[in-house]
């Protein structure tokens, strides 16, 4: 069940986007005419499977893709927040394929409110409904920016659940981060452009939060991200040898 804060964010989404429609025009190879017709009916329920399929569809399958995304938002985000979405994270969402930040202010702010609330609550939950890594990727793709997510981690209380999740995420990705592998970030984004920003943030904000992680070397491995690649691997080899 959604928390009061997440419920409030969903109500705001519904107040802004509820009742919107989109042209009943789209790819008839992938969808039936009766399925597309539902887009033009205000608040007609689509059901979990169809709303998921529509929301992950490539823009070229609709005559007006942004209108389709706006039409889907209340039902899709409610579906997402419910915890029923077993396939979360398997492909890009409609938000990541639109310029929603340029939509009217009340629309953009409602989306920002949902993403921020969902991310904060995921980090604060000892056992979140979806894994932190999956929510990270979906929110990152939607924002197309690291800052909204990293800012929440940076301001979280020290030593709390947020730090445990941060440690687990870094432990999962540290080898890719040390190798400057852009696949440390979602494949749908320009990982090569964003990776230096992420590495610099981890050095500045994450190193001292990892001191209590079960991997005693994680804090020191993460600190190596401050070095140039050629220096990093010499230091990494020395670090591993020192405990080997």
Name the burial class of residue 96, with classes exposed (0-12), middle (13-18) and buried (19+) by CB atoms within 10 angstroms of its CB.
buried
Q: State yes or no: pLDDT of 243 exceeds 80.
A: no
Which residues pair with residue 62 across a beta bridge?
26
Q: State yes or no: pLDDT of 166 exceeds 90.
A: yes
**What does the pLDDT average to over 33-54?**
96
- Contact assessment for residue 111 and residue 12, using Cβ atoms and an 8 Å cutoff: no
If pLDDT is split at 50, 70 and 90, which confidence band does 91 have? Answer: low
Name the burial class of residue 8, with classes exposed (0-12), middle (13-18) and buried (19+) by CB atoms within 10 angstroms of its CB.
middle
Six token digits for residue 78: 């409610």
SS3 1: coil
* Average pLDDT across the chain, whole number: 93
Look at the pTM and tell me if it is higher than 0.85. Answer: yes
Q: Count other Cβ atoms within 10 Å, centred on residue 31.
A: 19
**The predicted structure's pLDDT at residue 115:** 97
If pLDDT is split at 50, 70 and 90, which confidence band does 90 have? Answer: low
**What does the pLDDT average to over 11-27?**
97
**The predicted structure's pLDDT at residue 128:** 94
> Could you write out the DSSP letters of every residue in 140-174?
HHHHT-SHHHHHHHHHSPTTSHHHHHHHHHHHHHH
Let me know how long the chain is. 244
- Contact assessment for residue 196 and residue 188, using Cβ atoms and an 8 Å cutoff: no
| CA separation for the pair 25, 49 (Å, rounded) | 19
Q: State yes or no: pLDDT of 217 exceeds 90.
A: yes
If pLDDT is split at 50, 70 and 90, which confidence band does 92 have? Answer: confident
Q: State yes or no: pLDDT of 244 exceeds 70.
A: no
| CA separation for the pair 6, 175 (Å, rounded) | 34
pLDDT tens-digit readout, 117-158: 999 999 999 999 999 999 999 999 999 999 999 999 999 999
If pLDDT is split at 50, 70 and 90, which confidence band does 242 have? Answer: confident
């Amino acid at each position: 069940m959604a928390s009061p804060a997440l419920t409030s964010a969903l109500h705001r989404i519904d107040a802004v986007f509820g009742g919107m429609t989109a042209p009943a025009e789209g790819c008839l190879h992938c969808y039936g005419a009766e399925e597309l017709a539902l887009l033009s009916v205000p608040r007609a329920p689509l059901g979990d499977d169809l709303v998921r399929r529509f929301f992950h569809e490539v823009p070229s399958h609709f005559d007006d893709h942004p209108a389709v995304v706006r039409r889907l938002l209340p039902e899709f985000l409610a579906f997402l927040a419910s915890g029923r979405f077993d396939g979360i994270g398997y492909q890009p969402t409609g938000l990541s394929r639109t310029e929603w930040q340029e939509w009217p202010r009340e629309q953009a702010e409602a989306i920002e409110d949902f993403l921020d609330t969902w991310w904060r609550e995921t980090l604060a939950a000892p056992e979140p409904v979806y894994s932190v890594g999956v929510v990270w990727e979906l929110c990152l793709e939607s924002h197309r920016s690291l800052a909204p997510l990293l800012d929440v981690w940076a301001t979280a209380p020290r030593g709390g659940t947020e730090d445990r999740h941060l440690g687990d995420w870094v432990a999962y990705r540290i080898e890719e981060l040390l190798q400057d592998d852009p696949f440390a970030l979602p494949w749908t984004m320009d990982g090569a452009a964003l990776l230096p920003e992420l590495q610099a943030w981890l050095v500045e904000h994450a190193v001292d939060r990892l001191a209590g992680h079960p991997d005693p070397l994680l804090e020191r491995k993460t600190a190596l991200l401050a070095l140039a690649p050629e220096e990093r691997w010499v230091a990494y080899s020395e670090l591993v040898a020192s405990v080997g």
